[in-house]
Structure 1
Amino acid sequence: MLKDSFVMKVVDIVGRIPYGMVATYGDIACCAGNRNGARQVGRILHACADKYNLPWHRVVNRQGRVSARRCGDGDQDQRHLLMGEGIVFDCSGRIDFSSRLWIPVER
């Protein structure tokens, strides 16, 4: 049951990321109760994004970059979706967290 609780917390948090903002895998994991669960957040998004209509593209790594996908062009899709929300990437592929980082808080 604990794992299911974590999954549902992640789903809730990701669903609350505002348009034009991003959150990190680690911040989401920490807010959901597992400060070492960043990779688990990625797996949850992979498995649940479509089922719960999650804005998965708003979750990035701690460097402000889109994490590379194992297959396909998911990283390019993610960049395209973020740019459509007005998010700009610098020349090294990073997002400026000073204006775009959303920090989740427990409700």
Structure 2
Amino acid sequence: MGESGFFERAHDVVRQVPAGRVASYGQVARLMGAPRCARQVGYAMHASPGAAGGVPCHRVVFADGSLAPGFAFGGPGEQRRMLEAEGVGFLPDGRVDMARFAWEA
């Protein structure tokens, strides 16, 4: 499968993450059947059309709840703003509260 096919599969999984929930890069990779490809999922999110294009990539975070420092659509501050607008809560250290807001796919 080529890169575009992988990216489209990643986008399809992320479209399923409901508002108010987050998924990790690794979780998306596992759901795609590519459990060792979390980094490639990151590339797919960076290349996505974003929420405006129907791919809510702001809902994908690191497994520990950290936000992507290179969030393509305005930086981690914008990613946090978008998540908070959906009701996602954060820990005092700035990470998403994964115990409460991780998507149970």
Cross-structure match for 1:9? 9
Task: Give structure 2 stretches of 5+ with no counterpart.
Answer: none
Shift of 1:91: 1.1
Whether the 8 Å CA contact 2:46–2:71 is kept in 1: the answer is: no
Cross-structure match for 1:83? 84
Task: Give structure 1 stretches of 5+ with no counterpart.
Answer: none
Q: Structure 1: how far apart are the matches of 2:84 and 2:56?
A: 14
CA RMSD in angstroms comes to: 2.2
User: Higher Cα Rg: structure 1 or 2?
Assistant: 1
Q: Structure 2: how far apart are the matches of 1:72 and 1:56?
A: 9
Q: Deviations over 1:43-99 (max 9, x none)?
A: 111112348421011000010111211888411100000011111211111222222
Cross-structure match for 1:62? 63
Shift of 1:5: 3.6
Q: Which has the higher contact order (CA 8 A, sep 6+)?
A: 1
CA change 1:100–1:30 in 2 (3 A) is: same
Amino acid across the alignment from 1:63: D
Q: Normalised by the size of structure 2, how large is the TM-score?
A: 0.85
Q: How many residues in Structure 1 have an aligned counterpart in Structure 2?
A: 104
Q: Structure 1: how far apart are the matches of 2:66 and 2:13?
A: 19
Q: Normalised by the size of structure 1, how large is the TM-score?
A: 0.84
Whether the 8 Å CA contact 2:14–2:55 is kept in 1: the answer is: yes
